[in-house]
Structure 1
């Protein structure tokens, strides 16, 4: 994982959402980062430094003068040693200080001295404060200085008003952190990804589908986005939040809808990853009304859906890369190699869905990556997030080798 072993400084100002920063510190600790925390004077009045230290299992710095010891100057050392700086929550006051170069406390001093690209600020406040011209002007200054602004959410605020200003989900902040620290080896590349199952309706309340959760495709989309690509994710029905850093997210239900959306974008795509589990068949005679169980047996006639992957293989251009997926229950490598040739893919990702601890609905997977030369690379069982990283590392090497 990109965050493991990184040195992260978390700056906390005195917004009412400060309790959510405690959760952020906890999540970062679980990701095996080296964490340092800076609290402003007012934030100490809301939550004790001891709480942050215990939850983050890390040092907490508060007062500039008390922290200078034996030549160790906190704002210069923390800004120099840290790989990333996060300010969350960020009040209008700390935003104004950082944007305009004021440095009268430890957090603003550290922000002023921090010169690396991975710097994130999370504004949270009353909606009228957030929408004020002065605050928006300061956010523009920060953007121009290279800060990533994680936009607040809309909803009920602590003051009782409704509007934009709520602290966002900590998973979003961590996703932006991963993005800021990831290498950008796919910068400017257009990536088209399909994920999840498709559903073929029988009547208004029933459909034919499969067990695909979409988790693998979503993790691939997230990792490509982190690495600078312009990603379009076309997804069948899932229960997963799409990655926050996406260029385009398209929801579909049927195989025909997925076919149409893929074809609209195919010509402008450099790399196409077909990880969706597309239904091979659809119902020939869809019923507009619910079918009643009047008979002991019900016969449903099915007809073939378009073979999206095969059609893409037939029309692909020389500079395009097509990656297919083969989910099999037996003779995995043999069937995957056959599919690679029949569909004219460049790479096939094969996994054994007969194993109950990996594949469908699981957070784990084990795969084999097979290229046109017949080379087989085994990626042992791991989280789908780490499997996605392995797949994209392989694609990066393969894609660059063709130039």
Structure 2
């Protein structure tokens, strides 16, 4: 999807992630966009105005008055020029100023004069990102109608690891493409998605679980919301967050809690996508106190957890033409096992995730899968980001489930 002729105003604030903006501007120009950049004075410590001016082929706005040329830079004109404004990275400081109407530099004054859609991509250390004031500021900005591009998880400049990294330039471009080529194909449809692991308690401090991060399920939810759909996202333990107002997040811990959440919402759902990695078994007895290490061996009796996917498929609404999509994570004989699960549980489709290849499986930002339908059709998807994969899978699913 080209951005040919689109006027994009890029606002850069003073965070280390500003170094990524050079790549972002290059991608925009490659798409044919007209680009202007504006910077806070502090951001020039991380990337030079000359770099952005050269790449954007346009002067960079930093100060209201250029003492060298004697020219006044009109922030209102800059705001009126733009088809869209995108601020990346946005530090906690600039985020707070934007949420509360501060205007102590050229960038903020231009932001306050915006007549066009505004996109905000925060970037900061993980504790700052999780601080309640930051969350409140993000919600406030979202209430203005602005689009928040959530920070991603990964290694941070502080040396810590967690959520706070600015979304990659390719993701920022995707948000802009989605805006200019809005596809509301899921408008009026309600999806239920399960994501993440379940934790099954052994005692008050220990549990049985797995390494699922929930990233694929969350990517589905964001993609559906971007395409106009409404989502009930039931997730097991995960540090991921959602920003889109059409995603209703329900957090659970165990398989039984996840089943209860599914049962409470299932009758009104059009499509169920069951991407969670539910623990197959749970301890038959949960100890009230921490089990002490007194013996060389410890035996724990396990019993089966409820099969959430089978329950949903067997309890389809008589009113709504519900579609059920499952997931299969396999380490061997993947296609054989996926076909068996597809048939046994009477699914409409199943996504096969085969672990073993680099970049595939739990906790990664990328994935490569196969999609199998009950009519024996199969599609393969090469390694790509889970966000891109979610859009590709949804396109194939809806084209086949409602043909």
- Shared fold per TM-score greater than 0.5: yes
**What's 1:10 paired with?**
9
User: For the residues of structure 2 that align with 1:394 and 1:6, how far apart are their CA atoms?
Assistant: 30
User: For the residues of structure 2 that align with 1:230 and 1:131, how far apart are their CA atoms?
Assistant: 34
> Is there any run of 5+ residues in structure 2 with no aligned partner, and where?
65-71, 104-109, 142-147, 152-165
Between 1:277-286 and 1:387-396, the stretch displaced more is 387-396
From the superposition, tell whether residues 216 and 290 of structure 1 become closer, same or farther in structure 2 (CA, over 3 Å): same
Query: Secondary structure of 2:299's match?
Result: coil
Query: Secondary structure of 2:381's match?
Result: strand
**What's 2:192 paired with?**
192
Shift in Å, 1:398? 2.1
- Kindly indicate whether the alpha-carbon contact (under 8 Å) linking 2:37 and 2:56 is maintained by their aligned counterparts in 1: no
- Kindly indicate whether the alpha-carbon contact (under 8 Å) linking 1:126 and 1:165 is maintained by their aligned counterparts in 2: no
Query: Secondary structure of 1:262's match?
Result: helix
- Kindly indicate whether the alpha-carbon contact (under 8 Å) linking 2:8 and 2:85 is maintained by their aligned counterparts in 1: no
Cα deviation digits, residues 125-150 of structure 1 (max 9, x gap): 64895299xxxxx99996xx663475
**What's 2:24 paired with?**
28
From the superposition, tell whether residues 264 and 8 of structure 1 become closer, same or farther in structure 2 (CA, over 3 Å): farther
User: For the residues of structure 2 that align with 1:320 and 1:262, how far apart are their CA atoms?
Assistant: 14
Shift in Å, 1:19? 5.6
User: For the residues of structure 1 that align with 2:190 and 2:324, how far apart are their CA atoms?
Assistant: 12
Shift in Å, 1:61? 3.0
**What's 2:144 paired with?**
none
Identify which of 27, 35, 38 aligns with 2:36.
38
Identify which of 347, 372, 375 aligns with 1:373.
375
- Kindly indicate whether the alpha-carbon contact (under 8 Å) linking 1:187 and 1:228 is maintained by their aligned counterparts in 2: yes
TM-score, normalised to structure 1, is: 0.70
Query: Secondary structure of 2:370's match?
Result: strand
> Is there any run of 5+ residues in structure 1 with no aligned partner, and where?
65-88, 94-103, 133-137
**What's 2:220 paired with?**
220
**What's 2:240 paired with?**
240
Query: Secondary structure of 2:48's match?
Result: helix
Shift in Å, 1:219? 1.7
**What's 1:383 paired with?**
385
Aligned residues: 347
1:112 and 2:83 correspond = no
User: For the residues of structure 2 that align with 1:360 and 1:196, how far apart are their CA atoms?
Assistant: 9
User: For the residues of structure 1 that align with 2:99 and 2:383, how far apart are their CA atoms?
Assistant: 50
Identify which of 40, 51, 55 aligns with 1:54.
51
**What's 1:135 paired with?**
none
Shift in Å, 1:358? 1.5
**What's 1:281 paired with?**
281
